Chain A
Amino acid sequence: TQLLEQSPQFLSIQEGENLTVYCNSSSVFSSLQWYRQEPGEGPVLLVTVVTGGEVKKLKRLTFQFGDARKDSSLHITAAQPGDTGLYLCAVGSARQLTFGSGTQLTVLP
């Protein structure tokens, strides 16, 4: 059983649609990060959430940390082909970062 379960595993949508992807766990975390990975590149940090219930916005992307700090969601409004990529959530300590297996998002023009 993975520490972080991400869903859906794959998502293919049309340009302009909205979508939400999820990162769930039975454990409580002090913070959680979201990364995006594009083909042929390493993951790039999008956001870190630290407070239960926290909502952070990054242009068309809205990130929420669950009240109990066990889960998080990423909502994309009016998706564009440039949003295509692998979205990874991660939690960690000073020593180690543990990733979920990711959601592969494809936005079709």
Chain B
Amino acid sequence: EAQVTQNPRYLITVTGKKLTVTCSQNMNHEYMSWYRQDPGLGLRQIYYSMNVEVTDKGDVPEGYKVSRKEKRNFPLILESPSPNQTSLYFCASRLAGVREQYFGPGTRLTVT
């Protein structure tokens, strides 16, 4: 089944404790992206990647890192999480030149 998977789905952590949220897609998509979703603000793009080893900042990149060493994986790294990073995070992917994005099921992160 074609899909985007994220792990973990739920995470509660403390300020300053490094964490990684994994994202994997099995559709051979070139483009992958991370979003955060907050009430009243909608989905905002954090980082995106046009292909392996090519990443760039989105609208809200502060406090986040990403890497794209393999085509299928695009992990989101929070080196020192803070409470304002409490949010619902979505990974998405699509083929180059195609508009439709496929979203993962989301990761709900709480930073205390």
Contacts and interface: CB of A to CB of B under 8 A. Distances in A.
B60 to A, nearest CB: 12
- Which of under 10, 10 to 19, 20 to 34, or 35 or more describes the interface residues of B? 20 to 34
Contacts of B44: 99
B74 interface: no
A51 interface: no
Contacts of A45: 100-101
A96 B43 contact: no
B30 to A, nearest CB: 10
Contacts of B81: none
A48 B48 contact: no
B56 A97 contact: no
Contacts of A97: 33, 45, 92, 101
Contact of B99 (A2, A31, A98, A99): A31
Given A31-B99, A45-B100, A48-B100, A96 B45 contact: yes
B106 A40 contact: yes
B48 A95 contact: yes
Given A33-B99, A95-B50, A96-B48, A102 B42 contact: yes
Interface of A: 2, 9, 31, 33, 40-45, 48, 88, 90, 92, 94-102
14 contacts: A2-B42, A40-B105, A41-B103, A41-B105, A43-B43, A45-B100, A45-B101, A90-B43, A92-B99, A95-B50, A95-B56, A97-B101, A99-B44, A102-B42
